[in-house]
A and B are shown apart, each in its own frame.
Chain A
Amino acid sequence: MVDSPAQTRRSFSVRPTAVPTESNLFEAIAGQAAGIEQNIGRVISGKGRVIRLAVTAFLAHGHLLIEDVPGVGKTMLAKALAASIGATVRRIQFTPDLLPSDVTGAPIFNQQTREFDFEPGPVFANIVIGDEINRASPRTQSALLECMEERQVTVEGTTYALDNPFLVVATQNPIDMEGTHALLEAQRDRFMMRISMGYPDEAAEQDMVKARAHGEPIEQISPVVTLKTARDMIEGCQQVHVADAITAYAVAITRASRSHQALRLGASPRAAVHLVAAGRAYAAMHGRGYVLPDDIQYLAEPVLAHRLMAISPASGLEAAAQLRAIVRGVVESVPVPVPIRG
């Protein structure tokens, strides 16, 4: 702003951020998160929103459900995220014959010690990619979901803590539903967000093809933050301030979904918890120490849509679009609280 006398007389100008000490923390988080996003963007072009949401879910310590047709880079996204933070990553390809122990790990008889040693399964990693989770039997699905919720594995009476951070990125194909076991509502509710990749646009697709010409692109990814930094980021996000009005707003949105006439099942209280948590992370990613209603609005679709059940559901990819539209309607029906009166 040009500092002319006329304008200085009008004493409105955007002041610098008010709280410097805290803002340093969140600005650091914002910078690091931006680095991670950028890093992932090197292998997945044209998907800024999806990448951002994935990072948000990671920072909010939530799990991610990616629903899309094959070959759009679901697995790549998960791998790139893991690679960017120097985290361990394991991948489980779910099949109908996969057993719970194949996920969690099982006691193996050690002939030397003549005891059963616990052999950790693929969930013992920072980032677990569960491909085509709807192909697994419900029993196996619930084993994974228990891990997601408890962040621990209990085998034969012994409890083993999972890694920190622990992020499950499950993918499922909404089109090919034959011989699959769709996730139950209660299970879907465990995921903080569901995102769809969507087809890349033409230029991005060309980039993808070109990138493959020089070998596996994921190998070009190197960590931009250490695992410890990642942990600090997650902890830092939890310090983001949530005004009572924001909590009320998130709750109002979830409650409004329950009375929506097109829905058989609305969002659970856990959805509100997830919404606020995601909001914290999202605010921190913007270097902000407090959540804005804008954050909640932005996150409402990915956080809420997959938990809802329409009275007359559409099929395939349409189903997700239908629920997203409903969420938009719900958000638009809830007034934004602006408590500026002292």
Chain B
Amino acid sequence: MNLAEARLTARANQTGWYGLPGHRPWATAACVLLLLLTLMAPLNGLVEGTDWMFWFAAFGGGVLVLGAALRALGLPGWVVTITQILVVPPALIACFAGGHAILGVFPNGETWQRFSEMGKNVALAIVLEYAPLSPQIGLTALVALGAAVVAIVFDWYTFTVRAPAATGLFMALVMVLPVAFLREGLALSTLVLPAAAYLLVLAVTNPVGRPRLPVPGAGLLKLFGALRSVVVGCVALALAAAAAWALPGLTSEPLIKPSVGPARFVSGVNPLVELGSDLRQQGDDEVLRYTTDAGPMYLRMTSLSQFDGTRWTHRKGQQVAFEPERSTKLPGISESGLLPTYGAQAEVFIEITNLRATTLPAPYLPLAVREAAGEWVVDQDDLTISAELASTTDQAYTVTVVTPRGLDSGLDEVMTVTKAVAAELALPEDLPQIIGQTAVEVLAEAAQSPDYDGSYVAQARALQDYFRRSGGFTYSTSTPVEDGFDGDSAAVVARFLEVKSGYCVHFAAAMTLMARYLGIPARIAIGYLPGSPVVGSGGGSGAGQPVTYSVKANQLHAWPELYLPGAGWVGFEPTAARADAPSYAPDPSSTATSSASGSASPTPSPSRSQASPRSRSASPDVTETATATATVPGGLAGGTVWPGWVTVAPGGLGGLAVLALAALGPMVGRRARRRGRLLGDQALAGAWDEVHDTATDLGLGVGPALTPADFGRHLKDLVGGGEAGAAVDFLVADVERAAYQPGGLTGAVAGGEQRAGYRAAVAAIVRALGLTVPRGRRLRAALWPRTLRRPHRS
């Protein structure tokens, strides 16, 4: 054993990789990897979908495998950890911001911006959303980063500190997440696998009792040692499973119940942004169901009318108790009774199944609410029904509503701006030019049509038509996030008008602002789409029969309400992909159908008189289709729907490729150098340097004070005679002549024949040298060549 070899062994002993007698490093690494993967069980449910598992496994597993490989090469523990830490950021960038970085890996300003936006969105989601969080890209990146950090810590504790038991502490930290965020809390059953894996790690890293002496039967004992770990793990697993079975209450009920409830509705500081998040994340859990004989209805919860340029907020008006006799004071209802735009009254029975909010969902325009538990008041300005102390949870109540009749008659031509609607005309001072400009252009375009009469109704219809049809807008819940303009500020609306892709919030905000620009008071209503009839609820039994509709969480919606003189507040539907246009402002193309069959679809306030049995049975289908396509970017264009994993898989493969490259990079670089040297102009020098570096890589290196002849002798001592020995002689002789003979190797050096000779010589020497060292060193030389940074150069 030469000095270098001795040093290598000594260093390997310090790494902890080979340190413990009978220590099986690869087995340990495998167990730690298993432990990491089992952590996904308790974390399940934090993030929606299964994509996050892939990233968790890819980053966590990648870091562990990288660590194991580096340690196997004999690198010191701190080098391994630092390498792991260094590999993670480029991998993250490549996987999650590849298009915003130099060469997909190196961060630039754009990268930071992107990550900061992702961070903001994630922070918002964590603060505002309940688990499972919607699988937005930032969250996935966070999962990947978290997995990498956990893996690095596990690796560090297990191999460098040699305190594998300490990984348990970190496991406990990880467990805090489900306790804090999961609705169900931390279920004991999910801890079975991690606990078993943890015990397995402890068993495999515990060297006590290992046979250390070469006694007869030591091999058998070793086998038993290995088996013991497996047995310990299995027993632990069995015990945990038995405990789980014996205490069924623990597995079915949350171990630690979180304080947060199941329901959620916009109530935070930034309702529209929340709504956007909700749209992306909420599933198809039913939030409420309602029964009425007046057809499907939008369920409005509140409206947002104050806009300061960056944020929409609810303008709180005077709160009054909900009493029928006072309803005449409500907007839209004249002293003489109902406005001509409103039709008959209807009763709607609403059952909240899974929604916690402080405002009651109700169709517009509510006249009275009965049977609601707690004290509810109504906002005189926008008819938001709210409670200070009550909640919607488990409420069942009946709302009396009036439904719109139509906008074709009885409208005033003159806008009387009352105090009640003045706020709904306000525009921020720095309103982007494009908003007003687009509004004017839309009207100018609409004026080409013979039907256009310039009335407020016509203007409103033109705006709606612009968003639904002529403007070329597409519905997407992801585009705003990906393009970084998610939100509800005026700038976002401006960007939305450029990109022409967004979701209901953007459509609603854009139409609201444009209407205000045109002098029409407007606000954003928030609530739920009409939902779909419950099968067997009597939907097909004929007109006048009550039908029960089910509304799901992901049918959360925002739409503009415009104040039309003589008609009061009227809802519009610019978001084509989510629902059809209201009957009083139908799409031009479907005008014929609408007028023929009455309400062909759920409308903000469908008229009972217009609803036919046929149309009612047909309408749910339409809604379902609309809802299904709504979540797909470009759904209007009928694009193919790809499953999530298909779009994520390439990124994941990219991530793996980055990790693999990081691990194989040195080898690739070293190979490339060999090739370059042997094919370059300086064939002899290249061959000589290559032989030098190969020897050094294999730990057979020599000092700089060795003459070519000495080095040749050194090599021949290693490889012996034969082909490789002859190759050494050949090279040394040529090197000596080239370097020291008068005139050098005239003319012969650059010759192709000569080059082939050198190449063959180097190949023979490299092959023979490789055989003189153990396989481990050969592998190390290949994966982690020492001369990568400091190549020999004669």
> B756 contacts the other chain (Cβ, under 8 Å)?
yes
> B344 contacts the other chain (Cβ, under 8 Å)?
no
Name the one of A7, A12, A13, A243 contacting B739, with C-beta atoms under 8 angstroms.
A243
> A223 contacts the other chain (Cβ, under 8 Å)?
no
Name the one of A1, A15, A293 contacting B707, with C-beta atoms under 8 angstroms.
A293
Using Cβ atoms and an 8 Å threshold, which residues of chain A touch B757? 10-12
A-contact bits for B715-729, CB 8 A (1 contact / 0 none): 000000001001101
Given A7-B723, A245-B739, A289-B741, are A335 and B705 also a contact pair (CB < 8 Å)? Answer: yes
The answer to whether B753 touches A11, judged by C-beta atoms less than 8 angstroms apart, is yes
**Which A residue sits closest to B733, measured CB to CB?**
A14
The answer to whether A336 touches B705, judged by C-beta atoms less than 8 angstroms apart, is yes
> A241 contacts the other chain (Cβ, under 8 Å)?
yes
Give CA–CA (A10, B681) in the complex, Å: 20
> B3 contacts the other chain (Cβ, under 8 Å)?
no
A-contact bits for B538-581, CB 8 A (1 contact / 0 none): 00000000000000000000000000000000000000000000
CB distance from B606 to the nearest CB of A (A): 88
> B764 contacts the other chain (Cβ, under 8 Å)?
yes
A-contact bits for B692-736, CB 8 A (1 contact / 0 none): 000000000001111111100000000000010011011101011
> A291 contacts the other chain (Cβ, under 8 Å)?
yes
A-contact bits for B743-773, CB 8 A (1 contact / 0 none): 0110001100100111011001000000000
Using Cβ atoms and an 8 Å threshold, which residues of chain B touch A19? 741-742
Give CA–CA (A338, B705) in the complex, Å: 11
Give CA–CA (A293, B726) in the complex, Å: 22
> B368 contacts the other chain (Cβ, under 8 Å)?
no
> B492 contacts the other chain (Cβ, under 8 Å)?
no
The answer to whether A338 touches B764, judged by C-beta atoms less than 8 angstroms apart, is no
The answer to whether A14 touches B726, judged by C-beta atoms less than 8 angstroms apart, is yes
> A311 contacts the other chain (Cβ, under 8 Å)?
no
Give CA–CA (A335, B710) in the complex, Å: 13
The answer to whether B707 touches A292, judged by C-beta atoms less than 8 angstroms apart, is yes
The answer to whether B739 touches A11, judged by C-beta atoms less than 8 angstroms apart, is no
> A179 contacts the other chain (Cβ, under 8 Å)?
no
Segment 678-692 of B: residues with Cβ below 8 Å from A: 681-682, 684-685, 688
The answer to whether B723 touches A10, judged by C-beta atoms less than 8 angstroms apart, is yes
B-contact bits for A1-27, CB 8 A (1 contact / 0 none): 100000100111111001100000000
Give CA–CA (A14, B703) in the complex, Å: 26
Using Cβ atoms and an 8 Å threshold, which residues of chain A touch B647? none
The answer to whether B704 touches A335, judged by C-beta atoms less than 8 angstroms apart, is yes
Given A333-B705, A338-B794, A342-B749, are A243 and B756 also a contact pair (CB < 8 Å)? Answer: no
> B41 contacts the other chain (Cβ, under 8 Å)?
no
> B255 contacts the other chain (Cβ, under 8 Å)?
no
Segment 271-315 of A: residues with Cβ below 8 Å from B: 289-294, 297
Give CA–CA (A333, B704) in the complex, Å: 8
The answer to whether A292 touches B736, judged by C-beta atoms less than 8 angstroms apart, is yes
Give CA–CA (A334, B703) in the complex, Å: 10
The answer to whether A331 touches B685, judged by C-beta atoms less than 8 angstroms apart, is no
> B7 contacts the other chain (Cβ, under 8 Å)?
no
**Which A residue sits closest to B708, measured CB to CB?**
A338
Using Cβ atoms and an 8 Å threshold, which residues of chain B touch A1? 726
The answer to whether B756 touches A338, judged by C-beta atoms less than 8 angstroms apart, is no
The answer to whether B727 touches A338, judged by C-beta atoms less than 8 angstroms apart, is no
CB distance from B612 to the nearest CB of A (A): 93
Using Cβ atoms and an 8 Å threshold, which residues of chain B touch A12? 726-727, 730-731, 757-758, 760-761, 764
Give CA–CA (A12, B727) in the complex, Å: 6
> B642 contacts the other chain (Cβ, under 8 Å)?
no
The answer to whether A15 touches B706, judged by C-beta atoms less than 8 angstroms apart, is no
The answer to whether B682 touches A13, judged by C-beta atoms less than 8 angstroms apart, is no
Using Cβ atoms and an 8 Å threshold, which residues of chain B touch A119? none
CB distance from A289 to the nearest CB of B (A): 7
**Which B residue sits closest to A246, measured CB to CB?**
B740
Give CA–CA (A12, B685) in the complex, Å: 16
> B737 contacts the other chain (Cβ, under 8 Å)?
yes
The answer to whether A10 touches B760, judged by C-beta atoms less than 8 angstroms apart, is yes
Using Cβ atoms and an 8 Å threshold, which residues of chain A touch B708? 292-293, 336, 338
The answer to whether A338 touches B739, judged by C-beta atoms less than 8 angstroms apart, is yes
Given A246-B740, A289-B741, A340-B685, are A294 and B760 also a contact pair (CB < 8 Å)? Answer: no
Using Cβ atoms and an 8 Å threshold, which residues of chain B touch A241? 740-742
> B34 contacts the other chain (Cβ, under 8 Å)?
no
CB distance from B677 to the nearest CB of A (A): 12
Name the one of B731, B739, B753, B764 contacting A339, with C-beta atoms under 8 angstroms.
B739
Using Cβ atoms and an 8 Å threshold, which residues of chain A touch B758? 12
CB distance from A61 to the nearest CB of B (A): 21
Query: Interface size of A by Cβ–Cβ distance < 8 Å?
Result: 33
Using Cβ atoms and an 8 Å threshold, which residues of chain A touch B726? 1, 7, 12-14
Segment 305-327 of A: residues with Cβ below 8 Å from B: none
Give CA–CA (A12, B758) in the complex, Å: 7
CB distance from B787 to the nearest CB of A (A): 16
> A332 contacts the other chain (Cβ, under 8 Å)?
yes
> B738 contacts the other chain (Cβ, under 8 Å)?
yes
Give CA–CA (A256, B735) in the complex, Å: 25
**Which A residue sits closest to B732, measured CB to CB?**
A14
**Which A residue sits closest to B763, measured CB to CB?**
A10
Name the one of B684, B704, B705, B756 contacting A340, with C-beta atoms under 8 angstroms.
B684
Using Cβ atoms and an 8 Å threshold, which residues of chain A touch B750? 342
Segment 143-202 of A: residues with Cβ below 8 Å from B: none
Name the one of B723, B756, B794 contacting A341, with C-beta atoms under 8 angstroms.
B794
CB distance from B752 to the nearest CB of A (A): 11
The answer to whether B707 touches A297, judged by C-beta atoms less than 8 angstroms apart, is yes
Give CA–CA (A294, B738) in the complex, Å: 15
Using Cβ atoms and an 8 Å threshold, which residues of chain B touch A292? 707-709, 736, 740
The answer to whether B685 touches A10, judged by C-beta atoms less than 8 angstroms apart, is no
**Which B residue sits closest to A331, measured CB to CB?**
B705
Using Cβ atoms and an 8 Å threshold, which residues of chain A touch B727? 10, 12
Using Cβ atoms and an 8 Å threshold, which residues of chain A touch B681? 342
CB distance from B742 to the nearest CB of A (A): 4
CB distance from A326 to the nearest CB of B (A): 14
The answer to whether B738 touches A340, judged by C-beta atoms less than 8 angstroms apart, is yes
Using Cβ atoms and an 8 Å threshold, which residues of chain B touch A336? 704-708
Using Cβ atoms and an 8 Å threshold, which residues of chain B touch A10? 723, 727, 757, 760-761, 764
The answer to whether A294 touches B707, judged by C-beta atoms less than 8 angstroms apart, is yes
Give CA–CA (A224, B682) in the complex, Å: 47
The answer to whether B723 touches A340, judged by C-beta atoms less than 8 angstroms apart, is no
Using Cβ atoms and an 8 Å threshold, which residues of chain A touch B742? 19, 241, 243, 289-290
12 A–B pairs (Cβ distance < 8 Å), ordered by A: A11-B756, A12-B727, A18-B737, A19-B741, A289-B741, A291-B740, A292-B740, A293-B740, A294-B709, A335-B705, A340-B735, A342-B749
A residues neighboring B (CB under 8 Å): 1, 7, 10-15, 18-19, 241, 243, 245-246, 289-294, 297, 331-342
Q: Which 5 A-B pairs have the closest CB atoms?
A: A335-B704, A12-B730, A338-B794, A241-B742, A293-B707
Give me 14 other A-B pairs in contact (C-beta within 8 A), A12-B727, A294-B710, A342-B749 excluded: A10-B723, A11-B753, A12-B726, A13-B726, A14-B729, A241-B742, A243-B742, A291-B740, A294-B707, A297-B707, A332-B703, A339-B794, A340-B794, A342-B750
